[in-house]
Amino acid sequence: MKGNLVFKILFSILFLGVFCVYSYMHFSSGWFTDGFAENVAALGENGEQIGQDSQEQAQQEAAAEPTVEPTVEPTEEPGNDLPDVDLASWEMILVNKDHAVDENFAPPETATLANDCVVDSRIADALTSFAEGAQAEGLPVYLSSGYRDYATQQYLYNRKISQGYSADEAAKIVTPPGTSEHQTGLCCDITDYYHDPKTTDLENTETFQWLLAHCQDYGFILRYPEDKQDITQVMYEPWHFRYVGVEAATYIMENNLCLEEFVALYDQA
């Protein structure tokens, strides 16, 4: 009996020793910690258990998902889309207080249209088509104040000063001789009926509304817009239309420019 008891005690001690050695090897090799990490990795975003297949599928889907790059709108540099216009061409001449012509300047040839309106002959057909386009819509059209020579402009300017205006004030209403577009013959005052004097109320007429909407189709622009007076240094004139050609006129009107701004764009391009 004693021998069996001793044997059992020794066997138990031996078994306990082997178990301790086995447990030590497991813990020191990292098997336990690796298994814990795998279990944590197998948890979904909401703490739910997911299988190995689901985990691999999620990784594959994440890898296959395309990377969305932020959208960056291209920046247009000024002048990139400017029309191919020759600023040295006759129809693009800029006349204002900073770009005057001399007293001998005149159109090479003139044409007389309705109401004895004289213009540069090179714009006669376009101006006639412009007026006829409005008339085709049942709108009355009156052409006036086309070409004016230097002497006539001098008379009109002096008359305005004699009415009590200062030189600067008069220049905004009647430009001084040599600085008026009328001396080029490339512009025309277009109204519904004869008006004297012309006032900004003309913008309320159906004729003006049609002319403003369609002038670029015939190569004309509204030369002195209301919101460009600081640039043109001429009062708002909803009757003064200037010929520049269809391509330039379309760009100017669509981009809400005055002629000075349009010409300046080519210096920046």
Q: Which of 237, 254, 260, 261 is catalytic?
A: 237
Lowest average pLDDT, out of 56-65, 128-137, 236-245, goes to: 56-65
Give yes or no for a cis peptide into 70 (omega within 30° of 0).
no
Q: Give the angle subtended at the CA of 150 by the CAs of 144 and 154, to the nearest 5°.
A: 90
Asked if 47 and 112 sit in the same domain, the reply is no
Each residue's pLDDT tens digit, 254-265: 999 999 999 999
81: in domain? no
| Within a domain: 79 | no
Is the overall model pTM greater than 0.75, yes or no?
Answer: no
Residue 190 has pLDDT above 70, yes or no: yes
CA–CA distance, 159 with 173 (Å, rounded to integer): 11
**CA-wise closest residue to 141 among 93, 192, 81:** 192
- Full domain range(s) for residue 51: 2-64
Q: What is the pLDDT of residues 217-228, one digit of tens each?
A: 999 999 999 999
Nearest CA-CA partner of 184 in 245, 235, 110: 110
Number of domains in the chain: 2
CA pair distance 190, 172, nearest whole angstrom:
19
Query: Is 237 among the catalytic positions?
Result: yes
In this structure, the answer to whether residues 243 and 180 fall within a common structural domain is yes
Please indicate, yes or no, whether residues 189 and 242 belong to a single structural domain of this protein.
yes
For residues 233-247, give the mean pLDDT: 98
pLDDT over 50 (residue 47): no
Task: Look at residues 64, 81, 116 and tell me which one is the last residue of a structural domain.
Answer: 64
User: What's the longest Cα–Cα distance across the chain?
Assistant: 149
